Structures are given as C-alpha cells and as structure tokens.
A and B are shown apart, each in its own frame.
Chain A
Amino acid sequence: MTSPHTVDPWRFTGSFLQKMLSRAIPDEATHPTIPWTPLRKPLSECRVALLSTAGLSMKGDTPFDMAYERAHPTRGDASWRRIASNATAEQVEVHHLHIDTRYIERDLGVALPLDRLHALAEEGVIGEVAATHYSIMGYQGSDTSKLEQRSAPEIAAAMRSEEVDLALLAPV
C-alpha cells in the first residue's frame, strides 16, 4: 500500500523551531535496536490506553511543576500522572509552557481522545478502554534520564497491571 501523502514535519513549526529541532536529528538512523511487541490479539479484543505529553493532571492531583522549568529552562518536570477513563476537560488541568493549552482546556479530546475511544469500544473496533490513561509533560530539555529510567518504567508497570494490550501515545 502506498501512502498518498508525506507528512511535512515543519509545516506548522516556523523556521526558528525547525532549525533548532533539526539540529538534533541525524540524517541517518542512529537509534539503538528498536523494541518490538507484536499485537497478540485482534484489535476487537485489545484493551487500549492513551498517553499524552500535554502535562495533564486530574484536578486535585499534584499539577506538573512549571516553576521548576521557569527556574531551570533546560529542564522539565519528569513525573507522570494518571487520568481517569471518563475524564473531561472540566476535570483536568493542563500544564505545558510550549503550546497554547487553551484548546485542550476547551476540549480534552484534542490531546487525549477518550470520548472517541469509548465510542470505538462500543462499536467493537477495540475490545475495551483501559480504566487508566496517562500523561507526562513532554518538554524534558537536556536531561531525559528521569523520564526514561523512572517515569516510563512506572507507566509501563501500571499499564501491565491493568493488562493493557496497546498504548497510543501522542506528543503535543
């Protein structure tokens, strides 16, 4: 199957950000071996969880620490939060200094489409919506070690404990 469209990654970034981000990306693949877990079931039997980098937290939970990033611009809060499966925009806070968060504050689904995921489960396209979904705050600056070595394994363990088959991750 051929794709009719090659995504232009820089269409909306502006030239400043394009230059800044491009500098970090090599022309050829330099990554280590890619982990691989084949989907073991048909989608219609899979339990699916969502993960967003939007810095989402349930109201009443500890919000992501924006003061830390303001004080240390090359660092970002590396912690993670659980988001309830039935969460709505009214129940969630958004903390992220690199995007206009007002769209997510109006409609959580632009970053975490729980509403449509539930509809797809009802339709039988997927088996089930996981009880818990997840958020990190995507900007980590020059140090990704805490995210990689602490938060990501904790999120993976939480997903495993809820027997998630498939995770859909969306950076913002």
Chain B
Amino acid sequence: MGLVARVIEAAGISTVTLEMIWPYQRLVGMPRVAAIEHPFGRPWGDVGDIERRDAVLRAALDVAAHAREPGHVEHLPFRWHEEPEATKWHPAEPSPIIAMIKARQRSQPPQRS
C-alpha cells in the first residue's frame, strides 16, 4: 500500500496511510503514516463500532491537516478492546504462501548446533 500512496501523492493528491505495520515506513517511504494498533482485517475498528471508526477517521484527517514533512509518522492513541490471544484475524485456512513456507519447514527441519 505504501507504494500506491507514493504514486498517488506524486500525482498531486495528499495521502494518509493508516498502517498497523508502521516500520514498513523505513522500507517504503510513505508521505504520511497514521500508525494504529488494530488487528489485520479491521484497520478502522471492529464490526459495528461506529464510535471508534469515527474517531480513527478524524485522527487520520487530522494527520493530513497538520503533517508538515514527508515521512511523518504519527502514533494514534487507540487500544484494541481484546487481548491478542482473543483477537481472531487469521483466515480459516493458511494463505498459500504461509502454507508453502510451513510445508518447506516441515520437510527441512532446522539443524541443531
């Protein structure tokens, strides 16, 4: 997504990227990042949580309004309402790349030193 933000920004449109894995900024170089501690799949908040969605939108808009330098990263103050162990975001079956990596690991167990 960071790559897309760069292209849109370069085309003359301001962007804010709401990003969970905000360290990607070091790799990609996004114009404005609003870092958020939400699980994958629900960046703006949980199902039916209108209040959180509204607050995150306002916060992201605020980043657009006050960021003054390219690469601005702002950590939004929101906490997720469930502990990580209780937060389900994984797909029902592993994605193809994860399945491939895990299959490789099973066929090539790490050597012990």
State whether B27 touches A25 (Cβ < 8 A): yes
Q: How far is the CA of A170 from the CA of B25 in the complex (A)?
A: 14
Give 8 closest A-B pairs by Cβ, nearest first. Answer: A31-B29, A73-B96, A152-B7, A34-B70, A156-B11, A99-B41, A35-B10, A12-B39
Cα distance, A13 to B38, chains bound together (Å): 10
**Are A113's CB and B57's CB within 8 A?**
yes
Rounded to whole Å, the gap between the CB of A3 and the closest CB of chain B is: 5
Q: How far is the CA of A158 from the CA of B98 in the complex (A)?
A: 34
Residues in B lying within 8 Å of A, measured CB to CB: 1, 3-31, 35-48, 50, 53-54, 56-58, 60-61, 64-65, 69-71, 74-77, 79-80, 84, 87-92, 95-101
Contacts of A165 in B (CB 8 A): 13-14
Q: How far is the CB of B103 from chain A (nearest CB, A)?
A: 10
Contact B4 A155 (CB under 8 A): yes
Contact B89 A109 (CB under 8 A): no
- In the bound complex, residues from chain A placing their C-beta under 8 Å from that of B89 are 12, 99-100
Known: A70-B96, A97-B95, A120-B58. A3 touches B7 (CB 8 A): no
Which parts of A2-54 form the interface with B (CB within 8 Å)?
A: 3-9, 11-13, 16, 20-22, 24-40, 42-43, 46, 48, 51, 53-54
Task: Give chain A residues whose Cβ lies under 8 Å from the Cβ of B98.
Answer: 16, 98
Q: Is the CB of A160 within 8 A of B29?
A: no
Would you call B87 and A9 a contact (CB within 8 A)? Answer: no
Contact of A119 with B54 in the complex, beta carbons under 8 Å: yes
Residues of A within 8 A of B69 (CB): 36
Q: A5-B77, A148-B4 are in contact. List 15 more A-B contacts (CB 8 A).
A: A7-B35, A9-B23, A11-B84, A13-B40, A26-B27, A29-B71, A34-B9, A35-B31, A35-B70, A110-B42, A110-B43, A157-B11, A159-B8, A167-B5, A171-B21
CB distance from B104 to the nearest CB of A (A): 11
Query: A24 vs B6: C-alpha distance in the bound complex, in angstroms?
Result: 19
Nearest residue (CB) in A for B50 is A116
Complex: chain B residue closest to A40, CB-CB: B14
Cβ of A166 within 8 Å of any chain B Cβ, yes or no, is yes
Interchain CB contact under 8 A, A32 and B47:
no
Contacting residue for A166 out of B18, B64, B88, B96, CB 8 A: B64
Instruction: Decide if A69 is an interface residue (CB 8 Å cutoff).
Output: yes
Which residue in B53, B64, B76, B88 is a CB contact (below 8 Å) of A7? B76
